[in-house]
């Protein structure tokens, strides 16, 4: 259900984005437990803000540690810089930015989609490959 609410919908990749470390960790553990997903199957990318720039490496390591992933899973982070018109009101709202965890597996995606449809009692033909 987390994926239904927070996941990116595609036919061959599971992508889950959130700022809550416990929620992202729960989703990663779900994939490890129910799909025997090895560490090499995950990629992690962070979306940071300008006030995170000085702590970028620390924040990336935070997510790797929380998710128990090796640094080889880390992809390039995106840093959102403030426009010259911004009043910079966002400071410290998301202390670790957001994390995007991805798994490129049609088998996993289709299994999740099938489960959502079964639990929800509806059909989404566009989800099926």
Beta strand 98-103 with 14-18 is: antiparallel
Q: Which phi and psi angles does 85 have, rounded to 5°?
A: -95, -5
pLDDT digits (tens, 9 = 90+) for 103-129: 999 999 999 988 888 888 889 888 766
* pLDDT band per the 50, 70, 90 thresholds, residue 83: low
Output the domain CATH number for residue 97.
Answer: 3.30.1330
| pLDDT tens sequence across 43-77 | 999 998 877 788 999 999 999 999 999 999 999 99
Supply the range of the domain harboring residue 52: 2-127
Q: How far apart are CA 16 and CA 32, in angstroms?
A: 14
Range 18-55 burial, b when 16+ CB lie within 10 A, else e:
beebeebbebbeebbeebebeeebbbbbbbbbebbeee
Token output for 50: 């300008």
pTM of the model: 0.84
* Mean pLDDT, the chain, whole residue set: 88
How far apart CA 112 and CA 22 sit, in angstroms, is 20
**Number of folded domains that form the chain:** 1
pLDDT of res. 116: 87
Give the pLDDT confidence score for residue 103 in this predicted structure.
96
Tell whether the model's pLDDT for residue 19 goes beyond 60: yes
């Amino acid at each position: 259900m987390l994926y239904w609410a927070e996941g990116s919908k595609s036919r061959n990749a599971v992508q889950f984005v959130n700022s809550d470390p416990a929620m992202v960790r729960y989703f990663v553990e779900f994939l490890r437990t129910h799909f025997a997903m090895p560490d090499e199957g995950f990629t992690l990318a962070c979306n940071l803000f300008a006030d995170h720039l000085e702590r970028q490496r620390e924040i990336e390591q935070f997510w790797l540690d929380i998710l128990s992933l090796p640094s080889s899973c880390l992809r390039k982070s995106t840093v959102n810089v403030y426009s010259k018109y911004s009043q910079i009101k966002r400071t410290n709202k998301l202390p670790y930015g957001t994390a995007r965890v991805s798994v490129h597996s049609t088998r996993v995606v289709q299994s999740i989609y099938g489960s959502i449809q079964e639990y929800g009692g509806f059909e989404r033909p566009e989800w099926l490959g």
